[in-house]
Chains A and B, each alone.
Chain A
Amino acid sequence: MLMKANMVEALNLCLKQEMEKDNSVVVIGEDVGVDGGVFRVTEGLFAKFGKDRVIDSPLSEDGIIGSAIGMAAFGLRPVAEIQFQGFDYQGYHQVVQHLARMRNRTRGSITLPMVLRLPYSGGIKALELHSESLETIYIHLPGLKVVCPASPYDAKGLLAASLDDPDPVIFFEPKRLYRAFKEEVPEERYTLEIGKAKIAKEGNDVTLISWGAMTYVSMEAVAEAEAQGVSVEHIDLRTLSPCDWETVINSVTKTGRAVVVHEAPKTLGFGAEVAARIAEKALLSLEAPVKRVTGWDISIPYPKQEDYYFPDKKRILKGILDTARF
């Protein structure tokens, strides 16, 4: 059965179904229990599954990630929430030193199937360190899968797939899209393949590559570019690691032009990797330099001026048109 859901509702329903299906699934984080999470993604789970499976942890990201690793190693399937991606650094050493490498370290004898949920992204007039988008620091670590949905439908299917996955999955949730729109979502469980990009829109002149919140922003720019006569193929990566390079390369080989959009700073943002892969595999098809429309190499400004930082419709459109007319 289909239902209309926003991303928070889709994620919430997914967690509920996973917990019903498998009683080794536990949720842990700050305020995820009684309060239902500050974004309400875990709303109602505490009442339904109780305090042993929905854990209001002490205020320590290090403790959350570290203890979730222990739980995962010993038969539970934790879904750990860090309240804002900007506070994961407090537990990041656990990710680098253990989460990403336990399988390899033990030659597969200890594995860590768990999901680390990170509300990320800006443009919501939040305080300092509440608007971060540092997916790169996870993609850079071998051993992690990094997923970043851009719609309620994808969020539900990808979170379910993340819980099925034998490896740790870092699940980036674009909080800008949490309640931005509703769409039809199957009520029953389904999964989407991790590592598979989606062609959000087919086109011939330029390939636009995005993920998460920027997919939504890019759509408006794509529509405008189309109105101005430029046919855009829009790829939503959905998974950043492992990345679906095949879909990207096939598209760029066809269009000969590429624009990549992200809100992280430009230097060493994932756009750099996208551009490098295109250079390796499709250089001879290129008719224009690969264009990056990204955040600047600065700290994200406080709310009053944050709009100067994030790629918006205007900047993305300019990126598309410049590339198309190069």
Chain B
Amino acid sequence: MPISTVFEGKTEYMQILDKDSKVDAELDPGLPDEVLDRMYRLMVLGRLWDHKCINLQRTGRMFTYPPLEGQEAVSVGSVLAVKPEDWLFPSYREWFIYHIRGGPLSMVNMVWMGMEEGMKLDKNLRVYPYAIPIASNLPHAVGAAYALRMKGEKCACIAYCGDGATSEGDFHDALNFAGVWHVPCVFVICNNQWAISVPRKKQTDSETLAQKALAYGFSGVQVDGNDVLAVYKAVKEAADAARAGKGPKVVECITYRIGAHTTADDPKRYRSEDEVLYWRERDPIKRFLFYLEKKGIWSEAYEHKIHEEADRLIEDAITKAESFRQDPKEMFRYVYAGMTRNLEEQMKECFGEEGK
């Protein structure tokens, strides 16, 4: 009996707007000007916001903060690609997503400022809290997709994680369950090349992260994650298919973490300046700017205007976040639906005349 091939897989890569802003006209999703304008504004806001947060951390107004610089196209492109009824499950670094979805910018930095209030989410925005333990909320997205389908909702769940996260057991559980249950779930892997000091190559011997999907019975696609149009197109197609009952999909976005892992990290210890430069030349905002200029959307005046707008938004957000006074007693109030006798006693000990 001859030996036969029982499985063969392939994984495709897509780029629409290259680093020199050359556009593939056939693949260009041809988005209306308002959407392009929104994409650009949000990416610029994300970048300025990020710089501001680093600054706040340095001046003692924020605790440890994980920079987003370089990855804006993944957050912005993917969120704008899906429908408001789709649920988002961001990773901790992509928390700007909450604002892209319409949440107040002030909420986006509150957790990094050390306040639980930043997790008091508006359920109407359909954003699930990110998880500090890496990859641990990916199975939640799968369960959510199952539940939403069962309730007859026509929506998809979009779950985000990093390249490092693909090594965690939870990642594999999530993909496996998603495949077996054929749920409407899109996994967006933000492959920014590094998990703290560990390079992507040391996480897995697989050629791509997108191909992980194949082992779980569905497909994955790799896109240039610094190309907001490619991210948009890939995630839109995946989410549309998921909503139409065609099952899950992985979208691996190739990007780069320009900044440190967090403000507590020193990337000089493990990577070269040349590497950072290489990626700066592939900046997602710059290449999109030239694209918009050719379309007659971008101009110096436009740039000036959106910077001014962004600065105002940022200042307001910070004032709002910093003036928020959280009642410390809340730490006892949300443990259960009702306060137990034990907690009542402990709260009294903590705050009563006896306590602090």
Contacts and interface: CB of A to CB of B under 8 A. Distances in A.
Interface string B177-207: 0000000000000000001111000111000
B168 A60 contact: yes
Contacts of B12: none
Contacts of B116: 301-302
Contacts of A33: 197
Nearest to B169: A62
Contacts of A314: 356
Contacts of B197: 31, 33-35, 56
B331 A305 contact: yes
B166 to A, nearest CB: 8
Given A56-B197, A297-B346, 14 more contacts: A30-B198, A59-B134, A60-B167, A63-B169, A87-B134, A90-B170, A125-B63, A128-B132, A296-B347, A298-B332, A298-B335, A299-B335, A301-B328, A304-B113
Residue from A86, A267, A297, A309 whose CB has the most chain B CB atoms within 10 Å: A297
Interface in A80-134: 86-87, 89-90, 125-130
Interface in A290-314: 296-299, 301-306, 308-309, 314
A-B pairs, top 8 by smallest CB distance, nearest first, are A303-B114, A35-B197, A304-B114, A58-B167, A59-B164, A59-B167, A60-B167, A31-B197
Given A30-B198, A305-B326, A59 B165 contact: yes
Interface of A: 30-31, 33-36, 38, 56, 58-60, 62-63, 86-87, 89-90, 125-130, 266-267, 296-299, 301-306, 308-309, 314-315, 318
Interface of B: 63-64, 111, 113-116, 132-134, 136, 164-165, 167-170, 195-198, 202-204, 264-265, 269-270, 326, 328, 331-332, 335, 342-343, 346-347, 350-351, 354-356
B269 A36 contact: yes
B356 A302 contact: no
Residue from A127, A128, A302 whose CB has the most chain B CB atoms within 10 Å: A302
Contact of A302 (B115, B195, B264): B115
Given A60-B169, A90-B133, A302-B111, A38 B204 contact: no
B202 A58 contact: yes
A266 B346 contact: yes
A128 B331 CA distance: 13
A90 B343 contact: no
Contacts of B347: 296
B350 A308 contact: yes
Given A308-B328, A308-B356, A314-B356, A58 B203 contact: yes
Residue from B136, B195, B197, B204 whose CB has the most chain A CB atoms within 10 Å: B197
B132 A56 contact: no
Contacts of A90: 133, 136, 168-170
Contacts of A58: 164, 167, 198, 202-204
Contacts of B165: 59
25 contacts: A30-B195, A31-B196, A35-B270, A38-B264, A38-B265, A58-B167, A59-B134, A59-B164, A60-B168, A62-B168, A62-B169, A90-B168, A90-B169, A127-B63, A127-B64, A296-B332, A297-B342, A297-B346, A298-B331, A298-B335, A301-B328, A302-B115, A303-B63, A308-B331, A309-B331
A31 B203 CA distance: 12
Nearest to B115: A304
Contacts of A38: 196, 264-265
B161 to A, nearest CB: 10
**Which label, helix, strand, loop or mixed, suits the secondary structure of the A interface?**
loop
Nearest to A314: B356
A30 B135 CA distance: 15
B120 to A, nearest CB: 12
Contacts of B133: 86-87, 89-90, 129
B348 to A, nearest CB: 11
Contacts of B343: 296-298
A122 B238 CA distance: 42
Residue from A33, A59, A87, A305 whose CB has the most chain B CB atoms within 10 Å: A59
Contacts of B335: 297-299
Given A308-B356, A314-B356, A35 B326 contact: no
Contacts of A59: 134, 164-165, 167-168, 195, 198, 203
Nearest to B267: A35
A130 B116 CA distance: 15
Given A90-B133, A302-B114, A126 B64 contact: yes
Contacts of B132: 127-130
B207 to A, nearest CB: 16
Contacts of B169: 60, 62-63, 90
A131 B111 CA distance: 15
A264 to B, nearest CB: 14
Contact of A296 (B114, B134, B170, B350): B350
Nearest to B197: A35
B196 A30 contact: yes
Contacts of B167: 58-60, 63
A304 B343 CA distance: 21
A84 to B, nearest CB: 9
B240 to A, nearest CB: 31
B331 to A, nearest CB: 5
Nearest to A37: B197
Contacts of A125: 63-64, 114
A304 B326 contact: yes
A130 B92 CA distance: 14
A142 B301 CA distance: 70
Contacts of A318: 354
Contacts of A308: 328, 331, 350-351, 356
A133 to B, nearest CB: 16
Contacts of A267: 342
